[in-house]
Amino acid sequence: MQARKGNLMNVRTDVKVLDATLRDGGLCNNFMFTDEFVKELYKANIKSGVDYMEFGYRASKSLFNESDYGKWKFCNEEDIRAIVGDNVSDMKISVMADVGRCDFRTDFIPKEESVIDMVRVACYIHQMPAALEMIEYFHDLGYETTCNIMAISQASSNQIDEALAMLASSSVDVIYLVDSYGSLFPENASELAKLYLAAAEKAGKQVGFHGHNNQNLAFANTIETLSYGVSYLDATAFAMGRGAGNCAMELLLGFLKNPKYNLYGVLTFIEKYMLPLREQGVVWGYDLQYMLTGQLNRHPREAMDFTAQKRSDYCEFYKGLLDNF
Amino acid sequence: MQARKGNLMNVRTDVKVLDATLRDGGLCNNFMFTDEFVKELYKANIKSGVDYMEFGYRASKSLFNESDYGKWKFCNEEDIRAIVGDNVSDMKISVMADVGRCDFRTDFIPKEESVIDMVRVACYIHQMPAALEMIEYFHDLGYETTCNIMAISQASSNQIDEALAMLASSSVDVIYLVDSYGSLFPENASELAKLYLAAAEKAGKQVGFHGHNNQNLAFANTIETLSYGVSYLDATAFAMGRGAGNCAMELLLGFLKNPKYNLYGVLTFIEKYMLPLREQGVVWGYDLQYMLTGQLNRHPREAMDFTAQKRSDYCEFYKGLLDNF
């Protein structure tokens, strides 16, 4: 099947780096970022050559109370514009829309009136028909679209084949491989990526990867799938993201050879804004409870509870996981 | 060249897991481990199915003051025996001997009188003749031997070819690929591993891997090189090791499919002994200063100074590294 594309010395011009700090990181602090944080992240991403910045979710206001969350749970058009103006930059802007948690028919305006460039549709594999309906709707509004099939490590091969066939004949631009549980090893991730790439390439689409760091493999899986042709790469500043966190932007930019990418912008941002966030008590990142759910291919919710309770009795936790298999 | 050996479902019976917690971890605390710590680690390793436990260095007492270090810098025969008795277990015992920092002709007794099974000879690539002299000496005493060529990311292809040829015609049992600077990506590590394996297999020898976690790739590189046939795998409890630390034993045992390996023993040890060590202020593990020296393929000494000074001005540190290229 697919061979590696490019090598460790050259530039793959098809690569697009997407910063998901506000969106996946927002899951760690209920999206309560200050405007200063968001503005400086926006500037740092532009300086660093990042291709897309995801501002958050556009979640349903009938399902979620606006007062319970920071504004990036909802990503109102005017809130994004307050940060970016008309976004006079080479960087594009995305938001995520979850199947079943988004009023997509009322909450999106046509692309030509919006500052948003891309809508990423997140779903579980059994929700493909709903995801496709949203994708076609956003596509017709003029947006670039992606489909991010979450928790792929629990899907069967048949489901994956079917989903890829459905997406291949859709209007979606990018199909994302999402390791929600951080349970994929590089060999798994690259095998799945090859399946995605085979389906996508025939249909003129791209493939993306979004990792989680439960087994300290988010960066490794990102560059492994990249090497086979995956081109949309999610990362977050200081690896901020739910549970064990994501692929660190600083690791990814340090790896990519395209001189447009610049590590210094992101380093400056981390030093000035991410370290204080951590000191304020916002918690994310690799730890043994996440390793254990990753090894067992499980949702990290029990590990998140363990973390929230500041527990460190890993053995009890492990026994509990095994009891509830 | 070499294809992958085995797959993600089966057991590779050639695999040997080596616990280097005391040896590489000892670099973080001057080898000042309590006897209780060492005894419990020994028991935990046996429970976990670990194949080799490295107790430390056998360093020269004319070069190093015994009063400046814990006893595992020197690994006196009687100190090991005080922990393990006659080591009535399936687990073997190793010590490391550094070229130029070891009085090997006076400090080693014949294997049949020793509780040690294997001596690992560590060297830089320009020290190969000295390493080979030691290897033959230890081999003649009856020990299993390895050659751990450090800082391989700074060696030239010619040097590596030459060193592998020298080792192939020596009595060494295992040739170790050592990513001292944590600068190898999985693609580099596997390419090097294939070179090592080609040389070793012809000569009936094994290949090992020892990673550092500067770019969060120690575990990824370990399982990537494993997949091509590397069989001696170094790991440490809670990833304790110099600077950014090593491949975590808990990640490795969670990955290996051989039922002889048991994660629970190591988890128990971490909870009871590694967490307190960290709370006492012993510092190791991935952080941006180590990422930066790894990305630049540099010795971590500047990052270790930065850590010791409890600095977090990553940008200044980065500029300093670039100024001294």
pLDDT exceeds 80 at position B221 = yes
| Alpha-carbon span B155 to B123, nearest angstrom | 12
Task: Give yes or no for A186 touching B (CB within 8 A).
Answer: yes
Q: What is the pLDDT of residue A279?
A: 96
Which of B153, B256, B311, B315 is the best mutation test for A, with the most CBs of A within 10 A?
B315
Report d(CA A15, CA B242) in Å as an integer.
Answer: 34
Average pLDDT over residues A126-155: 97
Alpha carbons within 13 A on the beta-carbon side of A271? 16
Helix (H) or strand (E) holding B123: strand B118-123
Angstrom distance (rounded) from CA A98 to CA A123: 6
* pLDDT attached to residue B273: 98
| DSSP, res A165 | H
Tokens of B60: 């020269």
ipTM confidence score: 0.96
Predicted confidence band of residue B1 (pLDDT cuts 50, 70, 90): low
Q: How many angstroms from the chain centroid is the CA of residue A18?
A: 8
Which of A47, A190, A212, A251 to substitute to test the interface with B, most B CBs within 10 Å?
A251
Helices vs. strands in chain A: H and E counts, helices first: 14, 8
Could you give the C-alpha distances from A196 to A121, A178, A222, A277, in angstroms and in order?
17, 11, 14, 36
Other C-beta atoms closer than 10 Å to the C-beta of A109 total 11
Q: What is the dihedral of CA B306, B308, B310, B312, to 10 degrees?
A: 20
Residues 90-129, chain A, touching B (beta carbon < 8 A): none
**Cβ atoms within 10 Å, residue B77:** 16
**In which element (H, E) is residue B19 found?**
strand B16-19
Confidence of residue A1 (pLDDT cuts 50, 70, 90): low
The arithmetic mean of pLDDT across residues B292-298, rounded, is: 97
- Other CB atoms within 10 A of residue B134 CB: 24
Report how far residue B129's alpha carbon sits from residue B111's, in angstroms, rounded to the nearest whole number: 23
pLDDT given at position A237: 98
B residues 257-296 closer than 8 Å to A (CB)? 263-264, 267-268, 270-271, 275, 288, 291-292, 295
CB contact under 8 A, B185 and A8: yes
For residue B248, the chain A residues in CB contact (below 8 A) are 216, 291
Q: According to the model, what pLDDT value does residue A82 have?
A: 98
Q: What integer pLDDT is reported at residue B324 of this predicted model? A: 80
Mean pLDDT, rounded, of chain A = 97
pLDDT band at A89 (very low <50, low <70, confident <90, very high): very high
Cα separation of B31 and A90, whole Å? 52
Buried b (16+ CB within 10 A) or exposed e, B56-74: bbbbbeeeeeeeebbbbbb
pLDDT of residue B214: 98
- CA-CA-CA-CA dihedral for B31, B35, B38, B41, to nearest 10: -140
The tens digit of pLDDT for each residue in B259-285 reads: 999 999 999 999 999 999 999 999 999
Q: Nearest CA of chain B to the CA of A127: how many Å?
A: 29
**Amino acid occupying residue B323:** D
Question: Mean per-residue pLDDT for B162-186?
Answer: 98
**Spatial separation of the C-alpha atoms in residues A278 and B22, rounded to whole Å:** 31
pLDDT on residue A324: 81
Query: Rounded CA gap, A261 and A246, in Å?
Result: 19
Q: What does DSSP assign to residue A100?
A: T
Distance from the Cα of A126 to chain B's closest Cα (Å) equals 26
- Closest residue of chain B to A289, computed from CA coordinates: B267
User: What is the rounded CA–CA span in Å between residue B280 and residue B167?
Assistant: 42
Residues 230 through 249 of chain A touching chain B, CB cutoff 8 Å: 248
Q: Do B219 and A219 touch (CB under 8 A)?
A: no
A318/B contact by beta carbon, under 8 A: yes
Ramachandran class of A155: left when φ > 0, alpha when ψ lies in -120 to 50, beta otherwise: beta
Residue type, B169: S
What is residue A41's predicted lDDT score, i.e. its pLDDT? 98
Q: Tens digit of pLDDT for each residue in A267-282?
A: 999 999 999 999 999 9
Interchain proximity B267–A291, CB inside 8 Å: no
